[in-house]
Structure 1
């Protein structure tokens, strides 16, 4: 089961990096839980789609130096990576965007159910990101 979890998260990030939002969202359960970095919790694929629409409008990102781990049961996984990004459009409550580039270490934790991502929790240092784009 561990290998299936690793493969799922690899597909998840490959779809993200390719900008293939349909494939990306197909890897989520309908009731996916999304814990937003230093923010709230959203539930459901429509909320996650809206979040990703905003992210894709405001930022251009590629994830590199990916390390993926999973437990033996295959129901929990984690990833550590570096976000290479460009801040395209000002996001509400954040500094003004003018194409600033950033490099940000990040991580994510996953619950997996029935071969899909049922929860994703992302972590990165928001103060570091603000310093890089301010």
Structure 2
């Protein structure tokens, strides 16, 4: 399977809320670099992140555009996050099932046919504005 196919399968699993399917595509030492906060390393930390996200948000990604580099070790993807903010977090607005549509992007690196790095970017001030207007 190519790097692009692996990443497409990863995001397909995300949209199906198939967390086990996502985790199966990750390297044991995956490095997860989120937009805000500390870097998480390893499947255990990534699993904890997925559980937290599942409790607090319901998201589906659309308008996905994938980019690869010549060696096919890195894949970038631009997408739209269609979400519902289900459970509030400290330092963020209260959650009342607000809907949001937010542009975002991610950069993934592969090693041994597994995703070893996931770096995600989005505009946090815009997200805060979107969920605050929805209240």
Q: Same fold (TM over 0.5)?
A: yes
Structure 1 length as normaliser, TM-score? 0.96
**Matches of 2:68 and 2:44, distance apart in 1:** 27
> What per-residue deviation string (whole Å, max 9, x for no partner) do you get for residues 16-70 of structure 1?
0000000110000000000010221110000000001000100000000000111
- Equivalent residue number for residue 58 of structure 1: 56
Q: How far apart are the structure 1 equivalents of 2:128 and 2:115?
A: 29
- Residue equivalent to 1:41: 39
Within the candidate set 82, 87, 90, 2:88 is matched to: 90
Moved over 6 A (4+): none
Is 1:99 paired with 2:93?
A: no
Aligned to 2:72: 74
Instruction: Using the TM superposition, name which of 42-51 and 89-98 deviates more.
Output: 89-98
Match of 1:5 in 2: 3
Match of 1:25 in 2: 23
Unpaired runs of 5+ residues, structure 2, are none
RMSD: 0.9
Work out whether 1:15 is the aligned partner of 2:13: yes
Structure 1, unpaired ranges of 5+: none
